[in-house]
Amino acid sequence: MSARPIHKSLVDLRSQHKKAFAVLVDPDKVSIPQINHIANLCNDAHVDYLFVGGSLMVTQHLDECIQSFKMNSDIPVILFPGSPSQVSCYADALFYLSLISGRNPELLIGAHVVSAPMVKASGLEVISTGYMVVDGGAATTVSYMSHSAPIPHDKDDIALCTAMAGEMQGKHVLYVDAGSGARQPISESMIRRIASNTDIPLIVGGGITDPEKAYLNCKAGADVIVVGNAIEKNPNLIKEIANAVHQSTVKA
Ligand code: 1GP
């Protein structure tokens, strides 16, 4: 088996023209019975990844959340941390996020220096991630917390150059995010520009609320679609969006 199985699975998506669906869970917003229910829905829908993370982490049950999910599902769990403290050795991998769209040194390297010993000791698979926040039409938590302006929604060129820089810096993947609950998700034209000019896996999320948008994003070149907020409101969307994402592979 690959020494970095999760990273390999993401790279394989692009080379095999497959699309994946990731459900994002914020431990602050789910109880343990709810996470068990989500695990069952994810299993039924053949969800590809569970992303776990939140901007704040007010509650202390990150480990418990992941352990409960793992007791009910074999779906890989990847940490999507909002802060350096959000590390759990029960996950399979961690997005080591560098906010390359921002100009806050703390989120480019500072927090990484602080968390490096803890991350190393966790034994987690580390996925170096070029994290790009794009204006989603609402003041999202990530923009506020990061003290960074997002990339303007219609500036595909800036997004493309940022993505190219991330790739050339050696990031393993790109995560382009309009922010949780964004009013305007990432445009298909921005996804198309980035996907057709970079070769590393492209993860897209923020404000995706329906299967049609997920499908169109895949067609535009996203390799992984992430949905959190909409699923919190309507867990039945898990199956609908998973089907749309996987269908986009079939009709390549
Ligand atoms: C946010 O990309 C994720 O960081 C998902 O966004 O919660 O709007 O689906 P939503």
pLDDT at position 228 is 97
Could you write out the DSSP letters of every residue in 186-225?
PPHHHHHHHHHH--S-EEEESS--SHHHHHHHHHHT-SEE
Taking only the tens place, the pLDDT of each residue in 185-214 is 999 999 999 999 999 999 999 999 999 999
Map out the domains of the chain with their CATH numbers: 6-247 (3.20.20.390)
CA–CA distance, 237 with 240 (Å, rounded to integer): 5
pLDDT at position 1 is 63
- Atom nearest to 185 CA in ligand 1: 8
pLDDT at position 56 is 64
> Which of the pair, 148 or 174, is modelled with greater confidence?
174
Instruction: Say how many Å lie between the CA of residue 22 and the centre of ligand 1.
Output: 10
Res. 57: pLDDT tops 70: no
Give Dmax (Cα) for the chain: 45
Res. 139: pLDDT tops 90: no
pLDDT at position 144 is 79
Residue 223 binned pLDDT confidence (cut-offs 50, 70, 90): very high
148 Cβ inside 6 Å of ligand 1: no
What is residue 133's three-state secondary structure?
strand
Mean pLDDT of 44-57: 89
